[in-house]
Amino acid sequence: MKLYSFKIVLVVFLIATSVKAQALKLDKVTVTELQAKKHSVDTSAAAAILYKKGRTFFTYNEKSGFVMNHEFTYRIKIYKKEGLNWANFEVPYYVGYENLNEENLRFHDAVTYNLEGGVIVKTKLGNEGIFKTKLNDNWKMAKLSMPNVKAGSIVEFSYLLKSENLGQFPVCDFQYTIPVNYAEYKTEIPEYYIYKTILKGYIDVKTESKMEQGSVNFDNQYGQTNTMTYKQISSSYIAKDIPALKEEEYVDNVKNYQCSLHNELERTRFPGQPVKDYAITWEGVAKTIFENKDFGKELEQKDFLINDVKLILNSEDSKEERLRKIFKFVQEKMNWNKDYGYYTDKGVVKAYQERTGNVAEINFILISMLRLAGINTDPVLLSTINNGVPVYPGRTVFNYVVAMADIDGQQVLLDATHKFTTQNVLPLNTLNWTGRLIQQDGTSKEVNLLPTMPSVLNCSVVVKVDDSGKITGNLRSRKTNYEAYSYRDKYAQANADNYIEKMENLYNGIEISNYEVKNKNADLLQPVDESFSFQSVNHTEIIGKEFFINPLLFFTTNRNPFFQENRKMPVYFGYPTQKKYTINIEIPEGFEVESIPKGINLSAGDGALVFKCILEKNQNRIQIAVQSELKKSIVSAEDYSMLKDFYQKIVDKQKEKIVLKKI
C-alpha cells in the first residue's frame, strides 16, 4: 500500500490567499416535493433519490502528501412506509492499511423536511443519530438514522470520506433499487494522477471533461500557509431519471447491470520523475500483478515441493497421469480458508506446511507442482460471479486465480480449492465470462471460462402400473461434469437418509428403497451413477374407468421459470446441459391404451435450445424418450421472448397425459 502514498517534492508557490473549496449546493426543498404522494414515473416506488451529488477532490498536507476527499450529498423522498429504511444510511470505510492512515468519515448537514400545516419544518440530526462501529480489523462502518421521518418526508444528508489510498475511488452508484431523479458526480484530479474511468450499466450518463487550473493550500513545517497550483482534470458525470434496478431470475449478478462509475489509478507522472504505469491494458494489468512479490515470486518458490512431487509420480507416468495425480494430491492435501484474492497472504511455503491457504496459495502450489512435473501450467486471473464481470481492464477487478495446464495443445482449467472440482470443472461461482492467463514471462492472454462441453444427465426408468393405479419401478441415472459436480457439492457429505427424504419429497412423494450411488466422491473424473427402486400412489389419477398418467412421471415440469413479460438482463444458465430421459411404462392387465400424447420436436435460437419428446405404444408398454438440450451458458435479453415461448411449449406438452382404459 506504500505505493500510493506520495510525498511531493515540488517547487511550491507561496501565495497567501486561501481558496475556498466549492460546497455542493442543492436547490431548496419545495412544498410540492413534500406533498408528492408518489413518484411521477415509477408510481409503485416506496422512495426515490431526488438528488445525489458527489464530488471527489484532492487536498495536500506535508506529512501524507495528496489525500483524496469524497463528498456525497443525498436527498431522498420517502413516499411509503416501506421506504422508511431509506432514512437509515450506512457507509463502510477501510481502516486496515499497513502504511497509510485510517480512512475517516464524517456525516454532516443531516436534515429531515416535513410538511406541517402547509409549512416546511426542518429537523436537524445531532450526534445522537450517528454511530461508528468497528466491524473488524480492516473495516469500520458509519451509520446514520434520520430523525422525525414518516411517509412523505424528505431527508437530506452529506458525508465526507477522506482517504490516503489513491489507488481507487469508492464506486459511485447512479442506480439503486429505487428511482433516482438526478445524479451528478464531479471529480477534480491533479495532473500528476491519471485514472482509468469505468462506467457500467445501460443508463445514459452525460460526461464532460476539461483541463483547469487547480490548487491546494497546506501548512508547511513552519506553520506557514503555502499554495500549490497545478493543472487538474475536471470531469462531470450527470444522469437523469434513472429507473430502479429490479432483481430477476437467472441473472449472474445484478450488479453487472447497475449503472455505476469506477475510477482506478492508471499512471502517475510527477515532474522530474519517470512516468509510472499501474494499469492500462489487460497486458499492463497482468504485468503489474505478475511483478508483485506476492504473485510472481511466490510462483517461483517450488523447491519445497520437489520431494513430494517425486513421491507422487512414477517415472513412466504419462502427462495426463501426472496431472491427474498432482491435482488429486493438492486438492486432498490443501484446505481453503475461504479467503479470495490473487495474491498470497502467508505465502505458499507456510500454507503448504499448515495445509490451509487462500485461493492464490492453493492454486500456486498446484501450478508449481505441475510445472515441476513438466506440465506447462499458468495462472488465470478471474473475477467471480459475486464480484461481477470486469468490463474494462483494472487491477482491482479480479479476485480469484485458477490454473490452466497445457498438455500437447489440450487446455485444462483447474481449481484445487474446492473438494469436488475436477479437470475443466470449476466452482460455479468462477464461470464468469473470461479470465486472464499470465505466462511465465509475464505476458498474458484472454481465456474463455464458460464451459463448452455439455454436462450430461441420463436417466432411465422402468415402471409398472398395477390395476389399483400404484406404480413401482426402478430408476438409473448418470451425471457428468457440472451435473456431477453440483450433486457432489451438495450431497457428497449428506447423510443418505436425508438425501433420500429430499428426493422422495422432490419427486412428488414416491417411496424410495435400495438406493445406491456409485462414485459419489471416489473418482471425480468419472460420472455419478445412482439407482433406486420406488413405488408411489401419487402418480396415477383415476377418474371413472380411466387412468391418467403424466408421461414424464415425477420429472414433469409444471411451471415456466420465465414468467415475467419483459427482460433487460441476459439469461444466465451457468453451463450447457444435455438431459435425456427414457421411460418405459408397463400397463396393468385388463387395461388398454386409450390415447398417448403426440411427440414434439422443438428447437429455438438456431438450435441452441432443443426439446424432443417421442412417445411409442408397443402392446402393453409405452416408451417415452425425451431429450432436452441447452447448448449455451448465456442467452441474450433480446432472445428472452423466444426463450419464454420455448419453455411454455415444453410445460404445455408435459401437461398432456397418457390415458389408460379398463377393457
Residue 463 in contact with residue 547, Cβ under 8 Å? Answer: no
Binding track over 435-474 against another protein, x by CB under 8 A: ----------------------------------------
Tell me the CA distances in angstroms from 301 to 350, 364, 375, 524, 663, one per residue in order.
Answer: 12, 9, 16, 29, 79
Minimum CB distance to another protein smaller for 169 or for 352? 352
Minimum CB distance to another protein smaller for 10 or for 135? 135
The correct pick among 283, 308, 345, 511 for binding another protein (CB under 8 A) is 511
Binding span for another protein by CB under 8 A among 289-297, 427-435, 541-549, 627-635: 541-549
Instruction: In whole angstroms, give the CA distance from residue 368 to residue 562.
Output: 45
The correct pick among 316, 497, 589, 638 for binding another protein (CB under 8 A) is 497
Q: Could you give the 3-state DSSP secondary structure of residue 180?
A: strand
DSSP state of 286: H
The correct pick among 241, 277, 308, 656 for binding another protein (CB under 8 A) is 656
Q: Output the CA angle 484-490-492, nearest 5 degrees.
A: 75
Instruction: In whole angstroms, give the CA distance from residue 480 to residue 451.
Output: 13
Q: Is 225 in the site for another protein (CB under 8 A)?
A: no
Name the minimum Å distance from CB 595 to another protein.
5
DSSP state of 168: B
| C-alpha torsion sign, points 515, 520, 522, 526 | positive
Instruction: In whole angstroms, give the CA distance from residue 474 to residue 588.
Output: 17
The Cβ of residue 332 has, within 10 Å, a number of other Cβ atoms equal to 11
Instruction: In whole angstroms, give the CA distance from residue 478 to residue 468.
Output: 31
Q: Give the position of cell 487538474.
A: 232
Residue 197 in contact with residue 392, Cβ under 8 Å? Answer: no
Minimum CB distance to another protein smaller for 197 or for 556? 556
Name the minimum Å distance from CB 87 to another protein.
7
Instruction: In whole angstroms, give the CA distance from residue 203 to residue 201.
Output: 6
Binding track over 565-594 against another protein, x by CB under 8 A: -----------------------------x
Q: Is 493 in the site for another protein (CB under 8 A)?
A: yes
H helix or E strand, kind and range, residue 485:
helix 481-491
Q: Is 246 in the site for another protein (CB under 8 A)?
A: yes
Name the minimum Å distance from CB 574 to another protein.
22
Name the minimum Å distance from CB 127 to another protein.
12
The correct pick among 136, 213, 221, 318 for binding another protein (CB under 8 A) is 136
Residue 302 in contact with residue 372, Cβ under 8 Å? Answer: yes
Name the minimum Å distance from CB 640 to another protein.
15
The number of residues that bind another protein (CB under 8 A) is: 61
Q: Is 399 in the site for another protein (CB under 8 A)?
A: no
Residue 73 in contact with residue 160, Cβ under 8 Å? Answer: no
The correct pick among 117, 274, 409, 544 for binding another protein (CB under 8 A) is 544
Minimum CB distance to another protein smaller for 452 or for 498? 498
Binding span for another protein by CB under 8 A among 125-133, 220-228, 455-463, 633-641: 125-133
Q: Is 597 in the site for another protein (CB under 8 A)?
A: yes
Q: Is 513 in the site for another protein (CB under 8 A)?
A: no
Q: Is 80 in the site for another protein (CB under 8 A)?
A: yes
Q: Is 495 in the site for another protein (CB under 8 A)?
A: yes
Q: Is 123 in the site for another protein (CB under 8 A)?
A: yes
Q: Is 86 exposed, middle or buried (0-12, 13-18, 19+ CB in 10 A)?
A: buried
Name the minimum Å distance from CB 461 to another protein.
20
Instruction: In whole angstroms, give the CA distance from residue 621 to residue 582.
Output: 13
Minimum CB distance to another protein smaller for 381 or for 643? 643
Name the minimum Å distance from CB 582 to another protein.
23
Q: Is 504 in the site for another protein (CB under 8 A)?
A: yes
Q: Is 84 in the site for another protein (CB under 8 A)?
A: yes
Residue 284 has φ and ψ, to the nearest 5°, of -65, -40
The correct pick among 548, 582, 612, 634 for binding another protein (CB under 8 A) is 548
Q: Is 490 in the site for another protein (CB under 8 A)?
A: no
Q: Is 505 in the site for another protein (CB under 8 A)?
A: yes
Name the minimum Å distance from CB 412 to another protein.
26
Torsion of CA 188, 192, 196, 198, to 10 degrees: -10
Binding track over 138-157 against another protein, x by CB under 8 A: ---x-x-x-xxxxx------
Tell me the CA distances in angstroms from 418 to 336, 344, 415, 424, 428, one per residue in order.
Answer: 7, 17, 7, 13, 11
Torsion of CA 541, 547, 552, 557, to 10 degrees: -40
Q: Could you give the 3-state DSSP secondary structure of residue 396?
A: helix
Q: Is 657 in the site for another protein (CB under 8 A)?
A: yes
Q: Is 509 in the site for another protein (CB under 8 A)?
A: yes
Instruction: In whole angstroms, give the CA distance from residue 548 to residue 657.
Output: 6
Binding track over 7-46 against another protein, x by CB under 8 A: -------------------------------------x--
Name the minimum Å distance from CB 308 to another protein.
15
Would you list the DSSP string of 315-361?
A: TT--HHHHHHHHHHHHHHH-EE-S---SS-SS-HHHHHHHTEE-HHH
Rule CB under 8 A: which residues touch another protein? 44, 80-82, 84, 87-88, 123, 128-129, 131, 133-137, 141, 143, 145, 147-151, 246, 335-338, 354-356, 493, 495, 497, 500-501, 504-505, 509, 511, 538, 541, 543-544, 548, 558-560, 563-564, 594-595, 597, 648, 651-652, 655-657, 659
